Amino acid sequence: MSTHDEKTARGSVPAELVEAALRVAEARGTSVAGVPALAIAQEAGVSRSTLMRRLGGSRRALDEAVRARGVDPGGQKSVHDRAVDAAASVIGEHGLAAATLERVAESAQCSVHSLYAVFGNRDELLFAAFERHSPILDVEEALAVPGEPLEQRVRRIHHLAAEALDREPRVLPAILAQVLARPDDPSVQDVAARILRRILDGVGRWLAAEAAAGRVRDLPPLLLLQQMMSPLLFHFLLRPAHRSVPEAELPTTEAAVETFTQAFLRAVAAPER
């Protein structure tokens, strides 16, 4: 690596994240490349979403920063990881329909046969790309925190969703666009149904528990979920298109999240007894 590259690597990733990655790798007796992002985030005392945001959405910058420290981050990524990242890039740049197994295999430098061996079918690959590049894992991590007040948890979930919608590759916006454009496409329906089930199993189940405890109105979980997420999703999906329109006067991300959080609470929070 050149001197310029070393300076870039050191400057692009906070030193505490590099140190955290090295500590976990040493404790586990593996390479940095073999350490899950969640484990690095926990060691650094941040959420997984914060870690990925500081890394620019992928671990490439971390690998370069580790190399700049004179440590080999590990060998080539597995077929699984290369394929998931390749699928996410294709989806973000060209849309869900463009993510064929042939195109992903070419981008990931593997064979289509290898993709079948690892994922079984295209839907499994697409869902893996959604899982890694959407806020779902971070939201599920947030839901696991016990005793968090309703307002604080809603705000946290809104922040995670806003961050995911604003970073590259834009997997979630691309999937939503395909669902809206071709709702009757069987391949789209399969992926969309699995995503919805996963969200309902996490956020939906939590909202149902809040309703059962009398903290929010007793509505079907899907309606509560839509009231909570739809306004925010619509705003952040359109936000990139509105940045070129000065008259739009876009609020900051923080202000938008707070507005949507308070609007949801006013709409569904049960009155205090």
The answer on 53 and 111 residing in a single domain is: no
pLDDT at 42 over 60: yes
pLDDT at 3 over 80: no
71-111 residue pLDDT tens: 888 755 778 888 999 999 999 999 998 999 999 999 998 99
241-257 residue pLDDT tens: 888 888 888 999 999 99
The answer on 242 and 152 residing in a single domain is: yes
The answer on 261 and 156 residing in a single domain is: yes
Share of residues in the chain with pLDDT > 70 (%): 94
Q: What pLDDT score was predicted for residue 220?
A: 95
The answer on 91 and 58 residing in a single domain is: no
Tally the domains of the chain.
3
pLDDT band for position 152 (cuts 50, 70, 90): very high
Would residue 185 count as lying in a domain? yes
Domain of 125, CATH number, reads: 1.10.10.60
The answer on 182 and 145 residing in a single domain is: yes
Domain of 255, CATH number, reads: 1.10.357
269: which strand partners? Answer: 216
pTM: 0.76
Would residue 198 count as lying in a domain? yes
Q: What pLDDT score was predicted for residue 6?
A: 38
Would residue 273 count as lying in a domain? no
Domain of residue 165: give its range. 134-268
Would residue 73 count as lying in a domain? no
